[in-house]
Copies of this chain bind each other. A is one copy, B any other.
C-alpha cells in the first residue's frame, strides 16, 4: 500500500510538502500541488487512518452504544441507530458499533484505547450505569434518553410529559371521558425506563385536571401475552372509548386484537399511539400517533457531539438538555366517542 513517502518521492517533494499539499494547511505552489495530486492518483494513495489518528489524536470515529434489552422492541432501536450513523457519515465520521449486553465494558474499551472521538449512548436509563464511565472519559458524550443526572453530557429526548398531556388533551377535546393507557412492561420502568413514568404521570395529571378517567396499566412486551392483555383490558373497561398506547409491541398487536373483537377505529374506539412514523409504516399501523422522531433525535445527538469534538463549543460551556416536542401524526384513528 502506498504511503505519503511514496507520494512524496513520485511527486519529487518532501513528505511534509506532500502532506501539506493534501491538507491545504499551508500555501503550496500550483505546480507542486498538481504533481502531488497526480502522484496520489497514480499510486491510489489513501492516508492510513491509524497513523493519522496517532499523529493528530483524532480518529474521526464515533462510538455508538446500542443496547438490546430483553422485552424492548428491537426494531425501534434500529431507527435511532440509522439516524446516528447517517448523520455521522455526513459530518465525516465513521461509527464504531457496540451491541454488547455489557455496555460498560464496551464503553471503557472504546474510550480508554482512544478508538473514538466521542460517544453516543442509546436507550439511556434513569440511573444508567454507563454514565459514570462516560463522565470520566476524555471524550465527550451525547445521550438519547433522559437520565436522572445530566451533568457532563449532552442529552436529547422526546418530551414524554408533553406527549402524555397531548394524547389526553386530544381525546378529551373530541369528547372522550374514559380512557385506557397501555405502557411498557413494569420491569422496563424498574430497569430505569423513566420515560414510561414521565408519559404516564403527565397523562394521569392531565386527565385529573380535565376531570376525566384514565386507567393506566403496564402491558407485556411479548407475543402472545400482549394480545391477551389487550383483550383483558378492553373486557375490564367496557365503557372506555379511547386507547392510548405507549408500548410498541401492543401497538403492533392491536390490529389483530381489534379484528378479533370486530372493532373499528375510530368508530368503536379511538386510538393514539406513541411511536415513529417509520415504525408505523413498517408495521402497517393505521393509528394516529405521537411521532417519537428517532432519526431526528439521533441527528441532534450527533450534531451536538461533533460540535463538542471539534471544539466549536468550549469545554466550559454548559451542556445541552434538549427535548423534542411531540407531534401528533393524524392517521384518522380518533374521532368522537361511540354513542355520541
Interface segment out of the listed A15-23, A187-195, A222-230, A233-241 = A222-230
Would A223 and B281 be within 8 Å (CB), given that A75-B75, A260-B259 are in contact?
Answer: yes
Nearest B residue to A47, CB-CB: B113
Please tell me which one of the listed residues B46, B61, B284 contacts residue A253 in the complex, with CB atoms under 8 A apart: B284
Which A residues lie at the B interface, using CB under 8 A?
A: 1, 44, 46-51, 53-54, 59, 61, 64, 68, 73-75, 77-78, 81-82, 85-86, 89, 94-100, 106, 109-110, 112-115, 138, 222-224, 226-227, 249, 252-253, 255-256, 259-260, 281-284
In the complex, chain B residues whose CB is within 8 Å of the CB of A95: 96-99
> How many Å lie between the Cα of A58 and that of B78 in the bound state?
30
User: Quick check: B283 and A252 within 8 Å, CB to CB?
Assistant: yes
> How many Å lie between the Cα of A48 and that of B51 in the bound state?
12
Nearest B residue to A79, CB-CB: B74
Please tell me which one of the listed residues B44, B50, B222 contacts residue A281 in the complex, with CB atoms under 8 A apart: B222
Copies of this chain present in the complex amount to 2
> How many Å lie between the Cα of A98 and that of B74 in the bound state?
19
Would A94 and B89 be within 8 Å (CB), given that A49-B115, A255-B256 are in contact?
Answer: no
> How many Å lie between the Cα of A109 and that of B48 in the bound state?
10
In the complex, chain B residues whose CB is within 8 Å of the CB of A74: 75, 78, 282
User: Quick check: B46 and A50 within 8 Å, CB to CB?
Assistant: no
Nearest B residue to A51, CB-CB: B54
> How many Å lie between the Cα of A94 and that of B63 in the bound state?
10
Q: Can you identify 18 A-B contacts, CB atoms within 8 angstroms? A: A1-B114, A44-B112, A46-B112, A48-B113, A48-B114, A50-B51, A50-B114, A64-B97, A74-B282, A78-B78, A85-B97, A89-B98, A94-B110, A223-B281, A227-B284, A249-B284, A252-B282, A256-B259
In the complex, chain B residues whose CB is within 8 Å of the CB of A97: 64, 85, 94-97
Nearest B residue to A224, CB-CB: B284
In the complex, chain B residues whose CB is within 8 Å of the CB of A110: 94
